[in-house]
Amino acid sequence: MFSKSCEYGLRSIIYIAQQSAQDSKVSLATISEAVNSPQAFTAKVLQQLTRNNIIKSIKGPYGGFVIESEKMDTIKLSDVVKILDGDSIYTSCGLGLNICDENSPCPLHYKFVEVRNQLKELLETTTLSMLVHDMSIDVFHLNL
Amino acid sequence: MFSKSCEYGLRSIIYIAQQSAQDSKVSLATISEAVNSPQAFTAKVLQQLTRNNIIKSIKGPYGGFVIESEKMDTIKLSDVVKILDGDSIYTSCGLGLNICDENSPCPLHYKFVEVRNQLKELLETTTLSMLVHDMSIDVFHLNL
DNA sequence: TTTATAGCGGATAATAATGTCTTTTATAAA
DNA sequence: TTTATAAAAGACATTATTATCCGCTATAAA
């Protein structure tokens, strides 16, 4: 479904969001430990999210990553996916055709559109604050 | 979504099904031309489908690939996907976790299950005969 | 101001996916 | 039986993805 970069990015950002909601910033080491992802590789992913103003990085001792609280309910999962994987998962043809739309559909087009749209809907309607507030951390995990 | 192998495999098998329905077998060269896929690579994919008894290959002059007519309505798209990509697309966690189910869900689990199930449903309920009979070849294409 | 810390950036390595080429095997037709 | 044809099989090449390493930069605390 998603690339490893995107999987690590999504897990990381959900974790950072949970921690930022409690006013605690988290280091790369803490994040990669918490979401069970390779540290150096995760660093690259977080750099991309930082450059794109999704998260804020703080250098130096006691540094780490945070998400500013006012951004929590504007950042959607689709923003993260778009940065890390592009939006081809929910725009491109299931059979891999370059041209496939209403006007010139592949045999699976109409059925595929439904699946794609449901995924798109899911990613575009889920904000970080929803993931932080609607879910108890006891029930939902990020690291197995 | 799917690997290139799987995309080529699906396009090829739909094309072979359409031709077999008209009692004409098709060569690798014809197939890769018709579905716009790299010939040698497509050969490997078709070999896998042959070994798994999805299609039948005929060697020698005037040889090629066919699908036996009685198989047309038992072969589902999910069979092809399973052989070429496994079934992880509609079984595995969106965040890439190894353990993620009802008992131990990731934060996206319940929403993801819906998308996965819709995809699963699509692949498991679409047979080759459906794709051959319900669709005019004039409207639906396989090669752009 | 010095020092230790933690993220940044670039280079490099390992692995997997994608794609090609060449030889062998089966077979239909002459 | 010979010959031409087309798929099978295995080796090889290329590219993309995933992953690691190291020196650099910023910064908080002593």
Give pLDDT, residue A55.
97
Percent of chain A with pLDDT over 70: 98
Q: Is the pLDDT at B136 greater than 80, yes or no?
A: no
> Is there a contact between B132 and B15 (Cβ–Cβ < 8 Å)?
no
pLDDT in tens, B18-72: 999 999 999 999 999 999 999 999 999 999 999 999 999 999 999 999 999 999 9
Whole-prediction pTM: 0.93
Lowest pLDDT segment from A65-74, A124-133, B68-77, B130-139: B130-139
User: Cα-flanking dihedrals φ and ψ of residue B92, to 5°?
Assistant: -95, 160
What separation, in Å, do the N-terminal and C-terminal C-alpha atoms of chain B show? 18
Q: Which residue is nearest to nucleotide C21 (CA to C1')?
A: B40
A98 touches strand D (CB under 7 A): no
In whole angstroms, D18 C1' to B61 CA is: 45
Q: Which residue is nearest to nucleotide C28 (CA to C1')?
A: B61
- Residue A94 sits at the chain B interface (C-beta within 8 Å): yes
Give pLDDT, residue B133.
84
pLDDT in tens, B113-129: 999 999 999 999 999 99
Report the nucleotide nearest the CA of residue A61, measured to C1'.
Answer: C5
Pairing between β-strand A64-66 and β-strand A56-58 as defined by DSSP bridges: antiparallel
Give pLDDT, residue B134.
72
In whole angstroms, D30 C1' to A14 CA is: 35
> Is there a contact between A27 and A12 (Cβ–Cβ < 8 Å)?
no
Q: Is the pLDDT at B138 greater than 90, yes or no?
A: no
In B21-107, DSSP assigns E strands to 56-58, 64-66
pLDDT in tens, B83-116: 999 999 989 999 999 999 999 999 999 999 999 9
Strand partners, A26: A65
One-letter amino acid at A69 equals S
- Residue A137 sits at the chain B interface (C-beta within 8 Å): no
What does R_g of chain B's alpha carbons equal in angstroms?
Answer: 17
Quote the CA–CA distance of B125 and A75 in Å, as a whole number: 36
Q: Is the pLDDT at A115 greater than 90, yes or no?
A: yes
